[in-house]
Amino acid sequence: MIKLVTKAERFIKKSIGSKKSSKSKSSPPKASDLSLIRKIVSEWRGCPVNSHFDNSDLACEFANLKNVTSVASRGPLTPDHVIRTKRIPLVIASDIKKSIDKYAVEYIKYFNKYSSNEMTMLDPAPRWAVLPGKGILTFGCNKKELTIVKDIVKHTIKTILKTELAFGGWKALNASKLFEIEYWELEQAKLKKAESNSLPHKGKVAIVTGSAAGIGFACAEALALDGATVIGLDLSPEITSQMEKINGEGIVINLTDEGKVKSTIEHIINSYGGIDIVVSNAGIFTAGAYIDEMNQSNWQKSMAVNLTSHQLFLKYSIPFLKNGISSSIVL
């Protein structure tokens, strides 16, 4: 078996040779578009989702295929992937809402065509999407599911590219057979059980500033226990290890630096799709003094951290909270 696989790998490598499709990257999607996509997908799924935008060379090479809509819509790499990725991805055209709504309606038609009376339809939301010319989006109800879908999609598009370049095209199992796997009785039971154990903040994206210790960390921990994907921001390097304890992401940042705040929010949107909960907790206590004896630099530092940093953080968060799921701000 090993010899046969090795022989096949050599043949594939030789057949592909230097054949490559375009990896060029057009302008990335606007962060506001990514948060809108995540919002509408969440609505169709019936719960908040995390989403991740990938514009790696591999993702762009796939998204730049001239026939990407046709190629992407043929089916999964292996039939069992349908349980995680659904049969086909969403291909997003210029009208975002129309594209997602159309996908969901087509999924409902697919279910009605192949289902029997006793079946319960799964949600019609996509698990991954292609942004032609820009990259790939993946969706998951939490970080764990998102990671699984990302891994499957990475291997899927890599294999599809090879078949398109050197082996005459890509073909998957037909829709009726894939439906049988997607709606296999045991899988239905497993998925229903998972849904019944849903946590109150499952799929929500929460940012907690000043969360390396104390009240901030306690807030982050409580949100994580309730199912939220938590991103902790703090000037202390300890933030990364602290967030690892709750399966979150820690980012070292000076929250008084407007440029850093803006780029960090953009990173969060690219990585998770949106923002639902903001806990603006960062603060410092400078040495107390009478007004006439106060050190001016201490005053300015206190105002910058305890007041201005909160204004900056909300300035760049609020546009995405508008697309959030039951959004909330805690100050």
Which tokens belong to 29? Answer: 């999607």
Q: How many CA atoms lie within 13 A of 132 on its CB side?
A: 16
Say if 2 falls within a structural domain. Answer: no
Same structural domain for residues 252 and 297?
A: yes
Same structural domain for residues 184 and 307?
A: no
In what order do the strands lie in the sheet containing 328-330?
249-252, 229-234, 205-209, 277-279, 328-330
Cβ neighbours around 89 below 10 Å, total: 25
Highest mean pLDDT among 11-15, 49-53, 71-75, 298-302: 49-53
Per-residue pLDDT at 299: 84
Q: What percent of the chain has pLDDT over 70?
A: 89
Say if 7 falls within a structural domain. Answer: no
Among residues 62, 45, 206, the alpha carbon closest in space to that of 139 is found at 45
Q: What is the pLDDT of residues 146-174, one digit of tens each?
A: 999 999 999 999 998 988 766 667 778 89
Whether 216 shows a pLDDT value over 70: the answer reads yes
Helix (H, G, I), strand (E, B) or coil at 167: coil
Which regions of 149-282 does DSSP assign to beta strands (E)? 205-209, 229-234, 249-252, 277-279
Q: What is the CATH number of the domain that holds 95?
A: 3.40.225
Same structural domain for residues 35 and 56?
A: yes
Taking residues 18-27, report their average pLDDT.
Answer: 61
Per-residue pLDDT at 323: 98
Say if 287 falls within a structural domain. Answer: yes
Say if 11 falls within a structural domain. Answer: no
Q: What is the CATH number of the domain that holds 302?
A: 3.40.50.720
Per-residue pLDDT at 297: 86
Per-residue pLDDT at 293: 78
Q: How far apart are CA 266 and CA 261, in angstroms?
A: 9
Per-residue pLDDT at 167: 64
Same structural domain for residues 62 and 157?
A: yes
Say if 14 falls within a structural domain. Answer: no
pLDDT band of 15, cuts 50, 70, 90: low
Same structural domain for residues 45 and 190?
A: yes
pLDDT band of 120, cuts 50, 70, 90: confident
Least confident of 2-11, 138-147, 151-160, 196-205: 2-11
Same structural domain for residues 121 and 37?
A: yes
Last residue of a domain, one of 165, 196, 227: 196
Same structural domain for residues 240 and 276?
A: yes
Quote the number of domains for the chain: 2
Same structural domain for residues 242 and 312?
A: yes
Q: What percent of the chain has pLDDT over 90?
A: 73
pLDDT band of 13, cuts 50, 70, 90: low
Task: Name the residue with higher pLDDT: 18 or 200.
Answer: 200
pLDDT band of 18, cuts 50, 70, 90: low
Last residue of a domain, one of 196, 219, 234: 196
Same structural domain for residues 130 and 165?
A: yes
Task: Name the residue with higher pLDDT: 21 or 103.
Answer: 103
Same structural domain for residues 179 and 318?
A: no
Q: How far apart are CA 62 and CA 200, in angstroms?
A: 36
Task: Tell me the pLDDT of the chain averaged across its residues.
Answer: 91
Same structural domain for residues 231 and 290?
A: yes
Among residues 253, 200, 250, 194, the alpha carbon closest in space to that of 222 is found at 200
Give me the sign of the Cα torsion angle 323, 141, 87, 178.
negative
Taking residues 185-193, report their average pLDDT.
Answer: 72
Among residues 254, 142, 266, the alpha carbon closest in space to that of 205 is found at 142
What is the domain extent for residue 101? 19-196
Per-residue pLDDT at 260: 98
Per-residue pLDDT at 111: 96
Last residue of a domain, one of 196, 228, 258: 196
Whether 35 shows a pLDDT value over 70: the answer reads yes
Q: How far is CA 261 from CA 109, 210, 252, 311, in A?
A: 44, 13, 11, 11
